[in-house]
Chains A and B, each alone.
Chain A
Amino acid sequence: MKVTRRFLCPKRSVVIMFAVALVFLHSVDAAAQTGSDDLRAEVKALLERVRALETEVQALKGASAGPTQSAMNAAPPAPQLPPPGTPADSSTQLPVYGGASAAAKALNPDIGIIGNFVGAAGHNSINPLPALALQESEISLQSIVDPYARADFFLAIGENDIEVEEGYVTFTSVPWGFVPRVGRMRAAFGRVNTFHNHTLPWVDRPLVAFNLMGGSLTEADVGIKDTGISISRILPAPKGIFLEGTGEVFRGDSGSLFHSSRRTDVSVVGHLRGYRDLTESTNIELGGSYTRGHNDLGSNFITQLYAMDATLRWKPVRGPRLHSFAARTELVWSNREQVAATQRAFGFFASAEYQLGRRWFTGGRYDWSERAQNALQQDSGGSLVLTYWPSEFSQIRGQLRRTHYAEGQTANELLLQVLFTIGAHGAHPF
């Protein structure tokens, strides 16, 4: 029977000590009632067991120096099968480290910490990054709640603040294939918005994330994220096509994009994505997104965003995985109601990444975006990226970035990023 947290009170140690005491008293009582003959038999049996163990130790020592001649000539042992469905002997199970108290770790969630160090050189007076910053430290806490749900928490810690970037429960056993999530989460708007900073193929986020999607450099992790309910489901589609629909309702507060003045000022998100394997190694993904909410001018002013995204990937599944390629683009249209009139703006980015070798990646990105509040103001830019992966637990990345701002300034910068992770290590984004 599975032990759940609710059965483990803070007085667990007292209960365990009490149980141990009971067992001890019982054994003392039993020993008092046992005859001396039984005791001798027990001692004899124990001595025989010790000798057998000594023999085993000697045999193991011999094995470490290479198999003995007798062992080399021996026939394979006859199969010793456990009763059907019986898990393997406890000797093959993971030992518990750290003493008796470590048993409690079994109920701890998977914990991971990802550090994101960013340095910047060059001149940029419009969106200046600090010269050196631990831009974000992300703590992830993930665990199964019960047979019906799992919880995922991601705390984004800046140098001076902390926020729940995501914290939600996913109900995994809902009928008809629905997957509801409740909590705070990154909105399923577009493709890159769902990525955390450390999973991006670049140091920064595209201009469109700041100009049209309400991002701000003051945030530890930029993106449309809010508190609410999300429901997704895989939809029927012709053979070989993966089609998924997602609907979300949020409180209506996300960066400078949405602002909720009343309880009814909720925002909604709709996302449809399709995916298909073109070959064993090549696949394509297309998505369409819509979101709508109230902006900072008040409850009577609505902002709507529409987006399309496309991703093409080539990654050989056979061989030593030395080369791969990915190209992606996202286009975003914004309709923002303002006092004078509705402001319509557009922005996009296009990028490509190529794996040069086992641990080296290069890539480029082009950005172009109008600004949501004044579409006459347009920013554009380009980046070249080089990334080195010392291991699957760390990355070192350099990015040359040139940005033309609507104010007439051009910023040339070199960004440096060091990512490192400790603890539970999950999948990389696809």
Chain B
Amino acid sequence: MRRILEWHLWFTLLLALSLAGAAASPLFAQATSKLKVLASTADLAALAAEVGGERAEVQSLVRGNQHPHFVQAKPSYLLKLRKADLLIIVGLELESGWLTRSHHTPSLVSQSGNARIQPGAPGYFDASQYAEIVDMPSGPITPSIQPFGNPHYWLDPENGRKIAQALAHKLGELRPSDASYFDDRFRVFSKRLSDAEEIWNAEMRPYRGCKVVTYYRSWSNFLKYFQLVSVGEIEPQPGIPPSRDHASELVNLMKSQNVGIILVEPYFELKTPNNIARKTGAKVVVLPSSVGGEKGITDYFQLFDYDLAVLTKAFRSKS
């Protein structure tokens, strides 16, 4: 009997500690505070910041210089997840390895103890539902295929617009008193984006139809929008370096089709692209695919400004 009482005391002590923590819970935060928006990637955070303005506190879990597929699920992410009013994910399985699924414990979202951001709750926002998805598989699914289509869809400005509009609507749902504010912010963003697109398209018009090789199939939306053509990838399957045969085939293809540009994200190794470039005379162009991928890229517009400046300079040098 004494021993049963002992473990009851231990358990009660733990519960008491937890309840003490509850007093500091976000539940007691004032309703007038900013909406806490947490995006899985810096790009979605940038779009949320455009429409959220001063009435949303926006953070991202992953920085723009990280490979969004190979992220370590840090416990410190839980500190952000448990406070969020809205969780924005890329979806299409991009975060399945570290955020939305887990092998041996509940996923980070499940562990957060935040009912607001669970799948199906009002604070769970899968941005892929509002974007045009490319590279949809049409045959058997193999590990080298992205089973739900290409998750790098934010690299099409039109998708950026669609996601921003849906986000403005979602923020208005969560905070009806500010719905008109978010709508106004979206309209301003949409106008700025239209103006920017005119400039971007003018810059890229001379290079439409040009052929490139990418490190991995992460630029499909970008290439489609700017009417560039990809003839192949250095790494056909994520995380697996190319075989000699594949590299040799790619070199021959690049020579035969006169491909002069190799696009590589900053988080990939440069040894293989440089080897291929030496054999083909192509130019390796390091191109960030996310906001924050390089210093100075702090918003969605700057991502395209930076990338197009680098890309057009590379095309000019090859012509």
Contact = CB atoms under 8 A, between A and B. Distances in A.
Interface of A: 2, 66-67, 71-73, 75-76, 79, 81-82, 84-88, 92-95, 97, 110, 112, 140, 142, 144, 147-148, 150, 152, 154, 166, 170, 172-179, 181, 186, 194-196, 198-199, 231-236, 240, 242, 244-245, 247, 249, 264, 266, 268, 270, 273, 275-277, 283, 285, 290, 292, 302, 315, 317-322, 358-359, 389-393, 424-430
Interface string B229-246: 100000001111100000
B75 interface: yes
A195 to B, nearest CB: 7
Interface of B: 3-4, 7, 10-11, 14-15, 17-22, 24-25, 27, 63, 65-67, 70, 72-76, 78-79, 82, 96-99, 101-107, 109-115, 118-121, 128-133, 136, 138, 141, 143, 147-149, 158, 161-162, 165-166, 168-170, 173, 190, 194, 197, 201, 205, 208-209, 225, 227, 229, 237-241, 266-270
Contacts, number: 240
Nearest to A110: B101
B72 A430 contact: yes
Given A144-B120, A172-B110, A392-B239, A424 B101 contact: yes
B103 A268 contact: no
6 pairs of A and B residues whose beta carbons are closest in the complex: A173-B115, A85-B169, A320-B269, A177-B113, A426-B103, A84-B169
Contacts of A285: 75
A389 B4 CA distance: 48
Nearest to A292: B7
Nearest to B62: A317
Nearest to B173: A85
Contacts of A73: 205
A156 to B, nearest CB: 11
Contacts of B20: 236
A176 B21 CA distance: 9
Nearest to A166: B104
B143 A176 contact: no
Contacts of A428: 97, 103
Contacts of A240: 76
A142 B101 contact: yes
B288 to A, nearest CB: 11
Contacts of B98: 427
Contacts of B105: 194, 429
Q: Identify which of A75, A85, A429 gathers the most chain B CB atoms within 10 Å of its CB.
A: A85
